[in-house]
Amino acid sequence: MSNSPEPVSVIILDKKYQFACDPEQRNDLVEAARQLDETMTEIKDSGRLMSLERIALQAALNFSAELMKLRATENFRQEKLDSRIRILADQIDDALKS
């Protein structure tokens, strides 16, 4: 089985687009396109933005804001976890010294 890029067709806002991607990334590309299509369709159906460019820009901003929130949450979670590990390591050190 070859790992060379293969063409993958997706439909976004009723338009067909073709991309090349590695076979192992195919499902991720299709799912990303489905989510983008869903978001862009919601924006288009809201009636506020009509040009494809503005719809795409609004979708990109929405995804970017969501990604920033996820990163902030992950950083907070990681800092909490690191802190807890340091506390446990200190407790282990104290216990071993006793």
User: What H or E segment, with its residue span, contains residue 64?
Assistant: helix 52-97
Model pLDDT, residue 47: 83
Helix axes 52-97, 26-45, angle to 10 degrees: 120
Chain length of the chain: 98
What is the pLDDT at residue 2?
Answer: 56
**Interval 4-19: pLDDT, tens:** 889 999 999 999 999 9
Cα–Cα dist 40/38, whole Å: 6
CATH of the domain at 43: 3.30.160.880
1 assigned to some structural domain: no
79 pLDDT above the threshold of 90:
yes
Tens-place pLDDT, residues 43-74: 999 987 679 999 999 999 999 999 999 999 99
Give the residue numbers spanning the domain of 83: 6-97
Do the domain assignments include residue 82? yes
pLDDT reported for residue 98 = 80
How many structural domains does the chain have? 1
